[in-house]
Structure 1
Amino acid sequence: MIAQIVTLAGVLIGALTSYVSVTMGERAKHRRTMATRWDDRKLSTYIEYAACVKEVADASKFARMADAGSEAHHEFNTAMEEGERRRSALFEALVMLAAPPAVAAAHEVNVVLWEMERQAREHRPLPVTGNLHERLNTYHERARADLGIDQNAWRTP
């Protein structure tokens, strides 16, 4: 009788151990899957935001260069406004998904871009204050850090 109880206890302990190990493994797999899914979404959002910023910047540059009141000036202003609406929505996605340093860098990009847009609307051909390229480079660095991309991996010594 004692041998049967010991055997039954061994089977129960083995089943419980098997259940716990499988459950822990599945939970870890689920966490990795979710982390990968969010990283993919973050990467897409980072890329879309940067591309949209460049489109708006180009439209503002061409609007500043076009003759004031011309059809081309109006078209570039319209493109700039449409791009600004899209950039605003993408920035909101960044706020939801990105790490705070990346969001802060994107905000700095926004500030420079808004100044570019203001100058384009006023048709001021003067150079824009602030450097969009420097701000975008900082944004890219912060995005790579958030995604865990080793920034020195591709650099040669």
Structure 2
Amino acid sequence: MDTSEQLLTIVAVLVGALTTYVTNYWTERQRIRRELLTRWDTKKLESYENYIDRVRAAVYLGVELYEHREGIRVSDDPEPSLRSQLSQATHLRGRAFERVMLLAGDEVVEAAHALNAASLEVDWQAMGKTAGTLDDWRARNRAVFTAINAFHEAARTDLGVSGSVTGETHPNRDLLLPADRSRSFQTGQSQ
């Protein structure tokens, strides 16, 4: 074997080694990137799920307090206890909101802000800080659940989940609330 053949063999070995190194480096880097994305997607999903749970818990406590205060349905808990529970729930919702702010994309952050604003209006009317009729109360609750759906849509997009929770396939659904008792009594209808 002459010198040129030996050099060609050495260059081929070096090119092969370099190609193997670059391929392994790129593959490992892609694997790490996928693992990080999966890890962050898992954290995002957990924070989105926790936030929605906290929003709904506060809304349900707000409903219980409002119905108790308005005499629609008396609670087993006294009003100060309901207020305390709602206050604690709003505190936990705020903490969950902050976690969403740390992990979410722009659309999810905006949807969370809108949801926070809508849920605060429910809290304020439930506690008597904001005046309003039963129709106002229902409109505020509808706004919260519309904002929850908007948050779901933004979160699904952020996580890369296909499909939709609204639109033609999923028609609008209204709140499942009892009729206004004062109207029922005025028109002579029974509950």
TM-score, scaled to structure 2: 0.73
User: Counterpart in 1 of 2:148?
Assistant: 136
Bigger share in helix:
1
Residue number among 80, 84, 89 corresponding to 1:78 in the alignment = 84
Aligned residues, how many? 154
- What is the RMSD of the two structures over their aligned residues, measured on CA atoms? 2.3
Q: Distance in 2 between the 1:95 and 1:30 partners?
A: 25
TM-score, scaled to structure 1: 0.88
How much does 1:67 deviate?
A: 4.4
Counterpart code for 1:126: T
User: Counterpart in 2 of 1:148?
Assistant: 160
Residue number among 99, 104, 108 corresponding to 1:98 in the alignment = 104
1:48-100 deviation per Cα after TM superposition (whole angstroms, max 9, x unaligned) = 100110000011111112248x9521111111111111111111111111111
1:13-66 deviation per Cα after TM superposition (whole angstroms, max 9, x unaligned) = 110110000000000011011001111111111111001100000111111122
- Whether 1:53 aligns to 2:55 is yes
Structure 2 residues not aligned, in runs of 5+: 171-191
Tell which has more relative contact order, 1 or 2 (C-alpha 8 A, sep 6+). 1
Structure 1 residues not aligned, in runs of 5+: none
- Whether 1:63 aligns to 2:69 is no
User: Counterpart in 2 of 1:120?
Assistant: 126
Q: Distance in 1 between the 2:109 and 2:152 partners?
A: 11
1:1-22 deviation per Cα after TM superposition (whole angstroms, max 9, x unaligned) = 2222211111111101100000
Identity of aligned residues (%): 29
User: Counterpart in 2 of 1:12?
Assistant: 14
Q: Secondary structure at the match of 1:83?
A: helix
Higher mean Cα deviation, 126-135 or 44-53?
126-135
Q: Distance in 2 between the 1:108 and 1:67 partners?
A: 27
Counterpart code for 1:78: S
